[in-house]
Amino acid sequence: MMRMLGFAALGLALIFLLGPFLIIAGAGFSSGDLLVFPPQGFSLRWYGAVFEIERFRESFVLSMQLAVGSTVLALLLGVPAAYAMARYQVPGGEWIRTIVTAPVIVPAIIAGLALLRYTVIPLGLPVMAALVLGHTALVAPYAVRVVTVSLTHLRPDVEEAAVLLGATRTGAFFKVVLPNIRNGMMAAFILGFITSFNQVPVSLFLTGPGVTTLPIDMLAAMEFVYDPSIAALSTLLALMSVSIVLIAERVLGLSRYV
């Protein structure tokens, strides 16, 4: 009896979490002009239309560049930091960890506002640079955390052995450590990419004239576009995220790092 109730709860929860999404996907297949479910007729018209809208194309490209750029930057900063904390008894190590992972604690909208007021405006930074700064800070904690997990699985004596066998320490890092934490870095990249790509609050204050990220653009368009194109776009983006995650799970075992 309780078991039945439990499975009912599981089913309902999955419907609650994924159902709305299926409805949006379905509404996108409408052949009519209205966003309704069930859809009026069936066509791929709106899924095609998404690609014709220039502003979405532009903001999609920008979001991609932003997500890739800031995640790469976050990894370049985060990997050495994670390595230092995993291997060296750095003075004030706990403090360093707290500082580097602090962006997780500060609500993103506040970070965006603070960056705009006290960094971007005083320094006269262009919009893209502002976005990269904000997103890199936001993604850096994930990079540190995920790479740290990878490093704890790799025993330090492997490196020591390499050095004993004549490798330089830098050589040992690139030949021994990096290949071993490659999966962790890929996992961090994917998590960072998705975090940045879907980010709204930090970008809210940082986007500027002619430079908008896709989620911000969608948020604006949601209000006045009432045809199924946004539904189609939402579905395509979700499919993109989901397939990245599924492939990553298959190849890397992503869920170990989440």
**Hey, which residues between 150 and 169 contact another protein (CB under 8 A)?**
156, 159-160, 163, 169
CB of 175 to another protein, least distance (A): 9
69 near another protein, judged by CB under 8 A: yes
Residue 87 phi, psi (nearest 5): -110, -40
Binder of another protein out of 106, 158, 247, 251 (CB under 8 A): 106
**Secondary structure (3-state) at 211:** strand
CB of 47 to another protein, least distance (A): 14
Binder of another protein out of 40, 43, 96, 252 (CB under 8 A): 96
256 near another protein, judged by CB under 8 A: no
> By C-beta, is 45 or 228 nearer to another protein?
228
> By C-beta, is 41 or 80 nearer to another protein?
80
**Size of residue set near another protein by CB under 8 A:** 112
114 near another protein, judged by CB under 8 A: yes
Binding segment toward another protein, per CB under 8 A, in 43-51, 105-113, 146-154:
105-113
HEC profile for 224-240? HCCCCHHHHHHHHHHHH
* Token pair of 56 as six digits: 């979405």
Binder of another protein out of 32, 40, 77, 180 (CB under 8 A): 77
**Residue appearing with tokens 């609650």:** 16
Q: Are 177 and 159 in contact (CB under 8 A)?
A: yes
Q: Are 193 and 68 in contact (CB under 8 A)?
A: yes
From the number of C-beta atoms within 10 Å of its C-beta (0-12, 13-18, 19+), residue 101 rates as: middle
Distance between start and end Cα atoms, the chain? 34
Alpha helices in the chain (DSSP H): 2-27, 45-52, 54-87, 93-100, 108-115, 121-123, 127-152, 156-164, 169-172, 178-180, 182-198, 201-206, 214-224, 229-252
CB of 24 to another protein, least distance (A): 5
Residues 5-64 touching another protein, rule: CB under 8 A, are 5-7, 9-10, 13-14, 16-18, 20-21, 23-24, 27, 34-37, 62, 64
Residues 191-210 touching another protein, rule: CB under 8 A, are 194, 197-198, 200-201, 204-205, 208-210
